[in-house]
Structure 1
Amino acid sequence: MLIDGRGRILIGRRLDTPGEAWQMPQGGIDESETPEQAAWREMREEVGTDKAELLGTTREWVRYDLPPDLAGRLWGGAYRGQEQKWFAFRFTGQDSDIDIARYEPEFAEWRWIDPAELLRIIVPFKRELYARVIEELSPFIALCRDGRAKASARPEAPTGDRRSGAGRA
């Protein structure tokens, strides 16, 4: 989760899905990576920047299941859903530093969005997951919004298990 100085979250509209399929950047974990390393790599690949400060992570892995009609089509039918570890990052750059076309683009466009609005526009099968992630990472969203997101101002929140990945199918 990349958070700007107004407490908004970066989302992208997926290239591979017709319509308004918006989501936060996310991705898998390479075999040799820690969860934190995977989160940084995915930010560079999907957002085109690493101008950010890591603030914290969810305590536990969170899971979502794909609806049955999608489970057979996505990922070659090999997975039914994903289990993910989410990281909160404070964006330290300018909007011009974001380049979603830098690598292999996954998003057609991007924007900053209020967390409550995100829950209204996200695909239904991810709403519960996103609500849980937003709730758990809300202290970091508040820090960014209030302009206090510096290493010395971090809330007391767990940093999670850094030996596992950012997302696993």
Structure 2
Amino acid sequence: MVSLHTSPVDESTARGLLTEYFQSREIGFAHQGITYTPVFPDAEAFTPPRGVFVVVRDDSGDAVGCGGIRLIADGPHGRRYEIKHLFLRPETRGRGWGRLLMADLEARARDLGARELVLDTHHSLEAAAALYAATGFTGIERYNDNPNATRWYGKVLAGTQTG
């Protein structure tokens, strides 16, 4: 059964998954004539209470995906976390693990007091957009200056505990 484990974002397994993710984006964007600018995340931004990073492991215990949340400036609904670096290896897709990872990150954000989750993506990543819509995200105004993004999404976390 698939499992999710917190990990320092700069730990070797997490860094390897991020390298894979960035390489896949560079290749995909290059086919469209777009330059992708990878930026490895700051470990402090993904350390509680500022954030968390999660590694997805398959039935065999192999690391097959990752994703994280990080605290950013408050938004119109209050405390805001951003989902970053959501990645699953292609051979794992279609199993519901993306939804599982999104639900896990949302629960972790709620535990950290988030009132809203946001994320950005590129319009060419249609499967990602479908996942975000299926997990309750809707289009919002641009909230950052990410040069790789063309779409921004948000989700208000109703019933979030504050404290």
Superposition TM-score tier, normalisation by shorter sequence:
under 0.3
Larger RCO (CA within 8 A; separation ≥ 6): 1
Instruction: Pick the structure with more strand per residue.
Output: 2
